[in-house]
Structure formats: C-alpha cells, structure tokens
Amino acid sequence: METYKILIINFGSTSTKVSYCENDMFIIREEISHPVEKIQACKTVNEQFPLRKEAIVEFLKVKNINLSELDAVAARGGQTEPIVGGTYRVNEAMIEQNKSGEYGNHVCNLGPWLAYELCKDSGGHAIPLTTDTPTTDEMEPVARYSGLKEIPRVSCVQALNTKAMARHYAEENGKKFEEIRVVSVMLGGGIGVVAIRDGRMVDAPDALEGEGPFSNNRCCTVPIGRLIKLCYSGKYDLKGMLRHINGDAGLVAYIGTTDMFEIENRINSGDKYVAEVIEAMCYQTAKEIGAMATVLKGQVDAILLIGGMAKIPFIVNSIKEKVSFIAPVVIMKGEREMEALGFGAFEALAGKRETLEFVPKEIK
C-alpha cells in the first residue's frame, strides 16, 4: 500500500495547530503559540501571513520534514461564497476570495493560501487541500427563505468540526454517516445548531452574523425592527455595528466576561443575574434544538453537544434537561478538526473521495 505524507494546518487566533500524518496515522501533533504582541501588530488578517508561514517553515525544519517529500498540505479552509461540503483542491480563485475579506475576516482565511504557497515551495509535488470549509452550505431550498426576497438564509457554522463529530458518532454506533439523523450543537465562541440528514447539513444558521442563540460574544436573532432603528441611531457606523453584533454582544455585553471559571464562581457566590444570563443562553440553545428536530420530522437519533462549552457541566446539564425528551443527548468534548482534515486529504489522495474544484458562481 502506498504511503501518503500529509501536513495539516489549522489556524487559531493566536496559535497554529500543525500535524504530520502518514496515510491516516498521526506521527506528529503540535500547537504553536504566536506572541500576542506580534499578532496585534498586524492591522489585518492578511498581514499575519509571513508570521504564520515562518512558524510552519521552522516547524518543518525542527521536525526534519522535507517539503519535497510531502504529498499534500491540508489546511482548515477559509471563507468564500457558499459551497457544498467535501474536499477541495485549493486554487487561486479560492485564495482570492479568502484574501478579499468579502465573506469574512477570520484567520482561517490564511489556511488555503499558506497550503498553496507551501505546495509551490515543494516543487509542485504536494497538493493543497481543504475539507468542509466554514462557508459549507448544504441547506434544503425551503430552508433558504427568510421572508425578505433579497436576503436568502445561508449557512455559516464550524462545518469542519460539526461534520467530523457527526461522522465519529456514526462510526461509534456502527452506522454510515449518511444513515444518521442528528441535531449537532456547536458550543464554542458561537453556538451553531445544525440538522444533519443524509450526510448533509440540511439546515443551519448564519452563526457569524446573528442567527441562533447568543453566545460568548455574539448576539442571537434579535427583533429586526429595533435592530434597524439602532443601525440608524447615529451611534454606530457599519464597521461599529458589525462589531456590536459579533464581538461586543452575548456574554461580553451582559456580564463582561467569557471566562467560564469566573462565571461559575460568580454563580456559586450567589450572583443571580449571571445565573439568569447563562440560563437564557441555554434556554435559547434548547429552543433551536427543538426547531431543528422539526426539520428532521422528529426522527432524531441523537443530539450531539460538541465544542469547548460541552466540557462545562452546568451548561450541558441545563440544555440536557430541556431537550432529552427529543432524543438521547450525547456529550462529545473537544474537537476532531485535525482528524477530519487529515482523513479528507488521505481519502482524496487514495482516490476514495472525489477531489472537488472551487469554481466561483460568476464563472459557472
């Protein structure tokens, strides 16, 4: 059996997860921390590119990994126009949309760009790949109607981890991913409640721009009339308003912190307001789970609680007591993003999975 050598990259706000795989076996797994002052010195996400690339090149040097011997560089994908899920070969059109910031300004936009450049540096042997990007959109046509004809609903969730955890649940229960019907709840910086059926995310929120429950620093679906009035109040320009709904909202706005250790201490010390805010977040999450259960017509194999806050008992328990009548609640702590990127690349290289091509809509 041929051995495929794969480098995997996943950018966080001040860190980079990097792994080296041979086929589907992880040989090296590390996390590189970047000095906060260097990140803050970059005025835009794109300005971080040299810093991030330098760290990866140093990693390869220290670990004695030769670029020319790699078969693929797999990176967590960036934000483009909506696309279906799967594994894509990174091309210049994808990178152009990532760099533009038109579809979001998350640091994940650097992933495909860096994978592409490293593959060029390898002499052209390695292939740049990405799997289940953040703008993966597999919604049913009926789910796209918003009531405003010029604004269709779109999906924007952490598709990579959402689908990876659902695949893992299926494997653990002896089923194919395409056979399960689950409601997946990503409890992270944002909260994304997703209905998964037939191997697709058939309904999902735009969690980046204010759909679904409020979370650490993001608002939820707010009364639209009052939102419009706030936009025209003179208090905010466009940039400030976008920051207001994603960055300065949620727990940050209500209680001034997202530190769950501090929040738990405040609740245990008798702070009823903080307890009520957390209960409201869990309440809204449970409501969304109920809504997605109707999308699956009540035929729900399990409700999957995933992400960082799935490790926090008082949050998990609050949600669980409200929705366990729908289906079993399965707690899946942590994430499987690196595994999903590595497995997607391996299957693409081995011809077990179709390698998709990104084609912008205006060219299709």
What tens digit of pLDDT does each residue of 300-353 get?
Answer: 999 999 998 999 999 999 999 999 999 999 999 878 999 999 999 999 999 999
274 shares its domain with 231: yes
**211 falls within a domain:** yes
Tell me if 182 sits within 8 A of 166, measured CB to CB. Answer: yes
DSSP letter (8 states) at residue 173: T
**Percent of the chain with pLDDT strictly greater than 70:** 99
Tell the burial category of 362 from Cβ atoms under 10 Å away from its Cβ (0-12, 13-18, 19+): exposed
16 shares its domain with 160: no
pLDDT band at 295; cut points 50, 70, 90: very high
CA gap 241, 205 in Å, rounded: 20
191 shares its domain with 123: no
**362 falls within a domain:** no
Q: Which residues contact 256 (CB under 8 A, 6 or more apart)?
A: none
CA gap 171, 66 in Å, rounded: 34
95 shares its domain with 232: no
284 shares its domain with 238: yes
Q: Residue 194 corresponds to which amino acid?
A: V
* Mean pLDDT for all residues in the chain: 94
pLDDT of residue 363: 67
pLDDT of residue 156: 84
291 shares its domain with 187: yes
236 shares its domain with 347: no
CB atoms within 10 A of CB 176: 10
71 shares its domain with 196: no
pLDDT band at 202; cut points 50, 70, 90: very high
186 shares its domain with 329: yes
pLDDT of residue 208: 75
Mean pLDDT of all residues in 212-237: 94
**363 falls within a domain:** no
The two structure tokens encoding residue 73: 């560089």
**298 falls within a domain:** yes
Q: How many domains does the chain have?
A: 2
**105 falls within a domain:** yes
CA gap 95, 63 in Å, rounded: 28
122 shares its domain with 172: no
Maximum Cα interatomic distance, the chain, rounded to a whole number of Å: 65
pLDDT band at 64; cut points 50, 70, 90: very high
Mean pLDDT of all residues in 56-77: 96
The pLDDT tens digits of the residues spanning 159-183 come to 999 999 999 999 999 999 999 999 9
* pLDDT at residue 361 greater than cutoff 90: no
**272 falls within a domain:** yes
CA gap 20, 85 in Å, rounded: 23
CATH number of the domain within which 161 lies: 3.30.420.40
pLDDT of residue 210: 80
Mean pLDDT of all residues in 118-146: 93
**Percent of the chain with pLDDT strictly greater than 90:** 85
* pLDDT at residue 284 greater than cutoff 60: yes
**364 falls within a domain:** no
Backbone angles phi, psi at 358, to 5 degrees: -80, 120
pLDDT band at 364; cut points 50, 70, 90: low
Residue of 82, 89, 111, 132 lying closest to 340 (CA atoms): 132
Mean pLDDT of all residues in 204-221: 88
123 lies in which domain range? 5-136+337-357
132 shares its domain with 219: no
pLDDT of residue 13: 82
Which of 274 and 156 is assigned the larger pLDDT?
Answer: 274
pTM of the full structure:
0.88
**78 falls within a domain:** yes
Mean pLDDT of all residues in 272-291: 98
101 shares its domain with 187: no
pLDDT band at 189; cut points 50, 70, 90: confident
